[in-house]
Amino acid sequence: MNLFKTLGITMGRAICYSGYREGQSPESGIYPTYGQIKEDLLILQNQWSYLRLYDSGLHAEMVLKVIEQENLKFRVMLGAYIGAELNNFGCPWGTIFSEEELERNAEDNLLQIKKLIRLANRYPEIIFSLSAGNEATVDWTDHFVSVDKVISYVRMIKNGARQPVTFCENYVPWLDKLKRLVDEVDFISIHSYPVWEYKHIHEAMECTRQNYRSVAERYPGKPVIITEAGWATNSNGRGIDPENVSQEFQAIYYNNLVEWSEREGVMTFVFEAFDEPWKGSREALEPEKHWGLFTVDRKPKKVFQ
């Protein structure tokens, strides 16, 4: 089913955006400035018309402010970041929370959902859709939330805002675990990372097509989009073979992904705009730091050189 016909959303190129530079991170509370975000968005506006923001914190507020005050043409998928409400003992890096921490997270999650709703109503012409969370139900997540709780958050958002509501998750849980959530959301949002599935670049696009089709064919009455798909450019060897990532491979995957998405009419948010050095481990070649189409100093990688 065509998302754009059912929900009135115009097709356009889309990208995930988080603007944290060297020395900045949500953990430290040091955020990009108005001027830095403006610089980023002026770079991105030449290629993309849709942005995805992961949470409703201070960074997202500033992005929305810049878009409004600078009269930029972006439309935004705004997310609520929901933290762990349950311990996930299957998390590979073993993050364990006390009961008190889990209770505080649940309280914070409720505040985040309420903030999402407030921003949705404050910027109705900019924000075109809302996400109740990101990768919070997949088996390996460190911010585990029950499906029942995600459903309650979706219902809360739909009661408080008028934009279409989704939940962003790896494609695998949608095939079975999230069946009850499908009826609650307005559209399904999946993530596809062939390089994390140990696929070579020549297998990559077929892997993403299969990921998409597996969900779309399972729920033919529900629109499906891709809210994350990308290719890293560096790796320290943990989870991703360093020989399987490069700027050349990223360019191949990006161009194939965009060509397929536009041909098939599948909205796809490329992951991601800029490298983010705060992510993952402290190792310089940590792959989580190297997914940007631009480096952290805003220079284009080979895909746009």
Read off the pLDDT of residues 103-121 as tens digits, 9 standing for 90 and up: 999 999 999 999 999 999 9
Residue 261 has pLDDT above 90, yes or no: yes
Instruction: Check residue 233 and give its pLDDT.
Output: 98
CATH number at residue 141: 3.20.20.80
Residue 188 has pLDDT above 80, yes or no: yes
Residue 149 has pLDDT above 90, yes or no: yes
* Mean local confidence (pLDDT), 133-151: 97
Residue 302 has pLDDT above 80, yes or no: yes
Instruction: Check residue 6 and give its pLDDT.
Output: 74
What residue numbers bound the domain in which 135 lies? 3-304
* Mean local confidence (pLDDT), 174-184: 98
Measure the CA angle with vertex 299, ends 298 and 300; round to 5°: 115
DSSP string, the chain: --HHHHH-PPP--EEE-----TT-BTTTTB---HHHHHHHHHHHTTT-SEEEES-SSHHHHHHHHHHHHTT---EEEEE-----SB--TT-TT-----HHHHHHHHHHHHHHHHHHHHHHHH-TTTEEEEEEEES-SSTT-SSB--HHHHHHHHHHHHHH--S-EEEEEEHHHHTTTTHHHHTTSSSEEEEE-GGGGT--HHHHHHHHHHHHHHHHHH-TTS-EEEEEE---S---SSSS-GGG--HHHHHHHHHHHHHHHHHHT--EEES-SB--TTSSSS-TT-GGG---SB-TTS-B-GGG-
- What distance in Å separates the CA atoms of residue 300 and residue 293, rounded to the nearest whole number? 6
* Mean local confidence (pLDDT), 162-188: 98
Measure the CA angle with vertex 53, ends 176 and 70; round to 5°: 155
Residue of 201, 216, 202, 192 lying closest to 265 (CA atoms):
216
Q: Residue 219's CB: how many other CB atoms inside 10 A?
A: 18
The model's pLDDT over 61-78, given as tens digits with 9 standing for 90+, comes to 999 999 999 999 999 999
Q: How many domains does the chain have?
A: 1
Largest CA distance in the chain: 50
Instruction: Check residue 4 and give its pLDDT.
Output: 64
Q: How confident is the model at residue 96 (pLDDT cuts 50, 70, 90)?
A: very high
Residues in contact with 158: Cβ distance below 8 Å, sequence separation at least 6, in sequence order: 165, 184
Instruction: Check residue 231 and give its pLDDT.
Output: 98
Instruction: Check residue 133 and give its pLDDT.
Output: 97
- What distance in Å separates the CA atoms of residue 22 and residue 181, rounded to the nearest whole number? 38
* Mean local confidence (pLDDT), 3-22: 88
pTM: 0.96
Instruction: Check residue 273 and give its pLDDT.
Output: 98
Instruction: Check residue 3 and give its pLDDT.
Output: 59
Burial of 220 (0-12, 13-18, 19+ CB in 10 A): exposed
Residue 235 has pLDDT above 70, yes or no: yes
Q: How confident is the model at residue 286 (pLDDT cuts 50, 70, 90)?
A: very high
The rounded percent of the chain whose pLDDT value lies above 70 is 99
